[in-house]
Structures are given as C-alpha cells and as structure tokens.
Amino acid sequence: MPPMRLLIVEDEHLIAYDLKESLERFGYEVIAIADTGLDAVRQAESFRPDLVLMDIRLPGEMDGIAASEQIQNQLQIPVVYLTANADQATLERVTASRPFGYVLKPFNDRILSTTIEIALARHRAEIAAQAAQHIAEAEMHRRTEHLAVVSHEIRTPLAAIRACADSLQRYGNLLPPEKQRQQLQQIQAAAESLSLLLEDILLLERMHSDHLEFVPMPIDVISFCEEQVEVWRYTSNHQCQLAFSSEGGPCITRLDQKLLWHVINNLLSNAVKYSPEGGCVSLSVSCQPESIGLQVKDEGIGIPPEALPLLFEPFHRASNVGQIPGTGLGLAIAKRCIDLHGGEIGVDSTLGQGTVFTVRLQRR
C-alpha cells in the first residue's frame, strides 16, 4: 500500500520540520508544509492529502479552526489538531468543528501516530457509511419510481374489469349474447394481463434480492430453442413468419432451462410484438466449443438510438411503441437471466427496419 500523504500546517518552522521527520519515521509521506490558514486551504486543494495536521494558532486572518472547517467540509479531508494548551473558548470551537483528533504539544510520537491511524480509520468508515447511504437512497428512489409505474400498469386492466363487470351487472340479459361474451372475454384478458404483470414483478424482485436460483443442467440447446419457436408459431397467429436455424450441433450443455426459457421467450415475444406489419422473425443458434450464440432477428419497428442505453432497465419503453402493450420488464428479466449464466446480450437496431438481439452464453 502506498504511504498515507499528510499535510502539516504549522507556522513555527523548527517544530514543523521536527514533526515531518517523526512522521516519516512512522512511514507517512509529508507532501507539504503550510504556515497560514489560507495557505493550508490552498495546499489541501491542490495536493488532496489523506489527512491534515493542523496547528490552531496561526498568523493571518484565518486560524487553524476556520481553515480546518473549510478543509473538512469542502474537501472531505480529515483534520487532526496539534496544539499547546488552549483556553475554554477555543476548546469549544475545536469541539464544534468536529475534528478527527486532537494532540497536545509537545507531542509524543506514538500518541501522534495512533491518533492519525484512528482518524484515518474513522474517516474511511464515514466514507463507507455515506456510500452505503447513497446506495440505500438510490434503491429507495428506484422502488418509488417502480411503484408508480406498476400502479399505473395495474390501473388500466382494473378499469377495464370494472367497466365490463358494471355493464354486465346493470344490463346483464338485456345485452345481446355476443356483447355479453365480448365483455367476459375482456375481463378474462385484463385478469390475465394482471397476473402476467404480477409474475414478472415477483420474478424481478427475486432477481434483485438474489433469491433466484441458478440451476444449470445438461440440455440440448438446439432442440430446446426449436421447440420455443414452434410454440410461437402457434401463438403468434401467423402474423409473422417464424424461422429457426442452427449450426454446430448437436449441442448438449449445462444451462438453467427455466432461465433460458425467459430469455428466448422475451426476445421472441418482442420480435413478434414489435413487428405489427409482419415480416420475418428468426432465431438462430450457433454452438461453438466454448460458447453458445443466440440471435433473434426481426423486421419490425426498430428501436430509436436514444432508447438503447436504458433498454435493459426495468420499466423503460421506447417512444415508438404506440399502442403496442407492454410494461418494459421483459428485457430486464432476460438480461438478469443471462447475467446469472455469466453471459452477455447485445442489440443492433435500425428504426423502421428491424432489430437483432445477440446473446452469448459460456459453455460449462
């Protein structure tokens, strides 16, 4: 570890050099000596020491306490006071300035170095606590934002359920049978979308809290992927052509089948959903000795470049989705599943022409 870099603030040169020698004997690096409060602030700004040793009585307008308040508050550098006996008023100002340590002159080398070490450790602990607090605040902010989006997503299907149920209750048998059936179907569809939303939210929460298990087992990746394309051929009403291709098989490798299902289904779901005019959707699998490549390609609406940086963040949707339904959770889930495999996902898209998602998973 490089030596800790200290700044000495002391107007009596003899004491300053004596102090410098003692500190160097203990393995510290003294990067500068300042002799006024103003000089101390300037030197601290330019050298950014790990700690400042500060005499309280200094010539000029700014004494050691004022200088140390600026250095601690503005530069977040810890200060230890080094001073001869001080009067009560000065001691009160010293306490109010929350120093990291206080050593009386004439100083004892051991006490000095112990005080410096305690000050450095306390400062490190404070920095770590501040970082943890920032992370907790960011997490809180993320949760509040997510809650707002989720409430919004829940309101739409709930309103549909309420409106259809009201209409059936009020007019019931007066409505033609076809209309009654339609309203029941709308209730079912809304309930289905609510339950899918709930499943995705719970899955994402489990992923965030690291409660999602990663259970790799040998699977035949090519057959597994081909089966998923088959399923999508039936569910997508043939509005898109769905193609499958593979190279390098047979390909038996250890992957988590449940997680891989989320990856492929979210990518195929998007490719089909964001191709409202049809066009070809394809999934290709390439088996290399070290890794497996998956590619999902479509000729749909494409993704505007400004949406790309946040594409894998939960609840982010691009501006060109129009009336196409979605909550912005699918890619966040797919990304997390790929991360758990130690893999990577990339995207290449041209607005109005189509999109290619590429996944690479390590073989194990």
Task: Fill in the amino acid letter for 215.
Answer: V
The stretch near ligand ATP (CB under 6 A) out of 26-34, 45-53, 84-92, 327-335 is 327-335
User: Which of residues 75 and 324 has its CB atom nearest to ligand ATP in the complex?
Assistant: 324
Residue whose beta carbon is closest to Mg ion: 330
Range 261-300, binding Mg ion (CB under 5 A): 270
Instruction: Tell whether residue 6 is a contact of ligand ATP (CB under 6 A).
Output: no
Instruction: Tell whether residue 331 is a contact of ligand ATP (CB under 6 A).
Output: yes
Instruction: Tell whether residue 283 is a contact of ligand ATP (CB under 6 A).
Output: no
Instruction: Tell whether residue 330 is a contact of Mg ion (CB under 5 A).
Output: yes
User: Which of residues 94 and 345 has its CB atom nearest to Mg ion in the complex?
Assistant: 345
Question: Is it true that the peptide bond before 59 is cis, omega within 30 degrees of 0?
Answer: no
User: Which of residues 97 and 270 has its CB atom nearest to Mg ion in the complex?
Assistant: 270
Binding residue (CB under 6 A) for ligand ATP from 30, 116, 327, 359? 327
Q: How far is the CB of 328 from Mg ion (least distance, A)?
A: 8
Question: Is it true that the peptide bond before 216 is cis, omega within 30 degrees of 0?
Answer: no
Beta bridge partners of 348: 356
HEC assignment per residue over 332-356: HHHHHHHHHCCCEEEEEEECCCEEE
Instruction: Tell whether residue 82 is a contact of ligand ATP (CB under 6 A).
Output: no
Task: Fill in the amino acid letter for 199.
Answer: E
Instruction: Tell whether residue 328 is a contact of Mg ion (CB under 5 A).
Output: no
300 binds, options Mg ion, ligand ATP, none, Cβ within 5 to 8 A by partner type: ligand ATP
Tokens 């390609």 correspond to 297
Q: How far is the CB of 273 from Mg ion (least distance, A)?
A: 7
User: Which of residues 80 and 318 has its CB atom nearest to Mg ion in the complex?
Assistant: 318
Instruction: Tell whether residue 317 is a contact of ligand ATP (CB under 6 A).
Output: yes
Q: Site size for Mg ion, by CB under 5 A?
A: 2
Provide the mask over 137-176, with x wherever binding to ligand ATP is found by CB under 6 A and - wherever it is not: ----------------------------------------
Instruction: Tell whether residue 40 is a contact of ligand ATP (CB under 6 A).
Output: no
236 binds, options ligand ATP, Mg ion, none, Cβ within 5 to 8 A by partner type: none
Q: How far is CA 105 from CA 121, 124, 214, in A?
A: 23, 26, 61
C-alpha angle 229-233-238 in degrees, rounded to nearest 5? 145
Q: How far is the CB of 357 from Mg ion (least distance, A)?
A: 11
Name the nearest CA neighbour of 270 among 194, 326, 193: 326
Instruction: Tell whether residue 271 is a contact of ligand ATP (CB under 6 A).
Output: yes
Tokens 């005019």 correspond to 277
157 binds, options Mg ion, ligand ATP, none, Cβ within 5 to 8 A by partner type: none
Instruction: Tell whether residue 278 is a contact of ligand ATP (CB under 6 A).
Output: no
Instruction: Tell whether residue 115 is a contact of Mg ion (CB under 5 A).
Output: no
Q: How far is the CB of 332 from ligand ATP (least distance, A)?
A: 6
Paired tokens of 269: 């779901």
CB atoms within 10 A of CB 217: 10
Q: Which helix (H) or strand (E) holds 205?
A: helix 177-208
Helix (H, G, I), strand (E, B) or coil at 137: helix
Name the nearest CA neighbour of 343 among 290, 284, 301, 276: 290
Name the nearest CA neighbour of 274 among 345, 204, 323: 323
CB of 327 closer than 8 Å to CB of 321: no
Paired tokens of 61: 């307008």
Binding residue (CB under 6 A) for ligand ATP from 64, 78, 157, 300? 300
Q: How far is CA 34 from CA 12, 51, 68, 180, in A?
A: 10, 13, 13, 87
CB atoms within 10 A of CB 209: 8
Q: Which residues bind ligand ATP (CB under 6 A)?
A: 200, 266, 270-271, 274, 298, 300-303, 311, 317-318, 321, 326-332, 355
Residues binding Mg ion (CB under 5 A): 270, 330
